[in-house]
Chains A and B, each alone.
Chain A
Amino acid sequence: EVQLVESGGDLVKPGGSIRLSCVASGLTFEYAWMTWVRQAPGKGLEWVGRIKSEVEGGTTDYAAPVKGRFTISRHDSQNTVFLQMNGLKKEDTAIYYCTTGTIGFAYWGQGSVVTVSP
């Protein structure tokens, strides 16, 4: 059974930084493309970015609102993907989900809450 477990969410001040982790189990992580999706309170889903598998270059893509501030990385030996968030803004307040799957986003974590507030 595939499981994704996010952690690291917290209350952060505007301009601050935080790193989220997502640990995966039950899949061959080194081949998985890992994606982060967020959901602001009472709002819809928003794609944040993704990282391809190392065998496919390990390259990253980001949504325009987070490009240059957020960085996705992976540590295959630990089955973990990270989301480093810098220069946080109030509008980054959201539940952050990691997701993956060979047929699309079939597997989701429970989400990690990031609140940006003074």
Chain B
Amino acid sequence: QSVLTQPPSTSGTPGQRVAISCSGSSSNIETNTVTWFQQLPGTAPKLLIYSNTQRPSGVPDRFSASKSGTSASLAISGLQSEDEADYYCATWDDTLNGWVFGGGTKLTVL
């Protein structure tokens, strides 16, 4: 049972927009910044979004994110087949005194 709650799976067709939610609490998402990772099969995670909404250099602007209260969301527009991956949200938890991850969302591009 992960501290942050994500839907286990989602899907979309090429060109479509999909959103992945991440639900937390007052001790984590509400008071700390959210980070998102993309993990392609058999590879290490890749930083996708940091500080709630910021994209590292090289991440396409098709990826965007937002945060409100105890929840955060990652949006992917203009879906491409190469976006098929697992997506994780993460943040610091003040009560647990450590980083917490969502359980991950498997994105399938139909």
Contacts and interface: CB of A to CB of B under 8 A. Distances in A.
Contact of B88 (A44, A50, A62, A99): A44
Interface stretch (B11-19, B42-50, B66-74, B77-85): B42-50
Given A44-B2, A45-B45, A104-B35, A62 B98 contact: yes
Given A47-B90, A61-B97, 17 more contacts: A37-B45, A44-B88, A45-B39, A45-B101, A45-B104, A61-B98, A62-B98, A64-B98, A103-B56, A105-B45, A105-B90, A106-B47, A106-B50, A106-B56, A108-B46, A109-B44, A111-B44
A109 B46 CA distance: 10
Contacts of B39: 45
Interface in B29-78: 35, 37, 39, 44-47, 50-51, 54, 56
A46 to B, nearest CB: 7
Central interface residue in A35, A44, A99, by most chain B CB within 10 Å:
A44
Main SS class of interface, B? strand
Contact of A45 (B51, B88, B96): B88
A106 B56 CA distance: 8
B100 interface: yes
Interface in A5-64: 35, 37, 44-47, 49-50, 61-64
A105 B2 contact: no
A92 B25 CA distance: 27
B24 interface: no
7 contacts: A44-B86, A61-B98, A64-B96, A101-B47, A103-B47, A103-B56, A108-B44
A105 B98 contact: no
Interface string B84-109: 00101010000011111111100000
